[in-house]
Amino acid sequence: MKKDSRSPAVELKGVVKRFGTLVAVERMDLEIEEGSFVTLLGPSGCGKTTILRMIAGLETPTEGEIYIEGKLVNDIPIHKRNLGMIFQNYALFPHKSIFDNVGFGLKYKGVPKEEIKKKVEQALEMVRLPGVEKRMPSQLSGGQQQRIALARAIVMEPVVLLMDEPLSALDENLREEMRREIDNLQHALGITTIFVTHDQREALSMSDKIVVMKDGVMQQQGNPEEVYTYPVNHFVADFLGHSNFFNGTVIESKDDQVKVKLVDGNEVLIQHPGVWDAGNRIELVIRAQKFEITPDEEEKAGEDINCFRGKIAERSYMGGEVSYFVETGSKTVIHVIDTSKSRPLRRGQSVRLQVPPNQCGLLPMGD
């Protein structure tokens, strides 16, 4: 079958996976564009790794079809799908040299020795580890071993690169370094990449598209800005970022400007697209980073739009940011993350929180 230039690199149509009575993946429809970086994001057990394993050929769909470069691959074994795979545990051969680890797949395919040597050297250059061919995996750090796993995958020139929680075994500094490494390499090579993680920062910083999963069901897909700014339900808003939720009722709506009365009596103005009729019960979503927090001084005219007042109940200083939990007069606790350079406020201090209308989100009640 000739590849249609308009067809996605990977496509899932109505894919279902059951393990006995357990439904691991439910009716998954997904298109992954050629050259894109797509992240499957969600908590443990949500089905993201099962999807990756079905694309790889390690699991067979119970129902539905999987296409790679326009070709149905349901019955095609893993070694004939031309995929690169990187796992959390690196899966390096401990008794083989780095050269033999990186060149293993090429040797298996019968590639001539001189060509293997050239390709292995090129792959190690790409991951910035030239000259380590003779070392053993045990002689490398965790971050270096992950780079070798990456080199072993890209040396095969796969049509799709599959990555299952590849950074979770690394410490935070190494994770940040490897995030940049993978991101830069993927852009340089243009390899279609499917990345599985439960880490929202990895998903937001690296992806062209994020697919949020829960209980085997896709909740939302879109670019990072879209999914973060306009979550479609409570789960997505809560999982992707630190969010505050307030129940309320729409008072009026006009030209994407929605006025809402919250349960505690506060009125909030929100700039949000959609049809919101007066009387609709809603859930207001405000990210912790979107509040401006200041000492509560004398009230000034015209400054009470989207304003909350309270006292700091908890405070955590984390270097580049300060996390506050502010208790209002109605006993509502609001999480605020302050990234400004202002001096940290003290526990018990009276403060004023304000948020712009375009930094508030709305969800229909019940989602």
Query: What is the tens place of the pLDDT at every residue in 230-283?
Result: 899 999 999 998 999 999 999 999 888 999 999 988 899 999 888 899 999 999
User: Dihedral of CA 109/111/116/118: which sign?
Assistant: negative
Could you give the CA distance from residue 24 to residue 18 in angstroms, rounded to a whole number?
6
The beta strand positions in the chain, using DSSP E, are: 10-19, 22-32, 37-41, 63-68, 71-72, 83-86, 160-164, 192-197, 209-214, 217-222, 243-254, 257-262, 267-271, 281-287, 292-295, 307-317, 322-328, 333-338, 350-354, 360-364
Q: Are 242 and 337 in contact (CB under 8 A)?
A: yes
Could you give the CA distance from residue 199 to residue 173 in angstroms, rounded to a whole number?
15
Could you give the CA distance from residue 216 to residue 318 in angstroms, rounded to a whole number?
35
For the chain, which ranges sit under pLDDT 50? Answer: 1-4, 301-302, 367
What class, spelled out in words, does domain 10-234 have in CATH? alpha beta
Domain segments of the chain: what residues?
10-234, 242-364
What class, spelled out in words, does domain 242-364 have in CATH? mainly beta
Answer yes or no: same fold for 10-234 and 242-364: no
**Whole-model pTM?**
0.89
Predicted pLDDT of residue 174: 85
Q: What are phi and psi of 312, to 5 degrees?
A: -75, 115
Predicted pLDDT of residue 275: 85
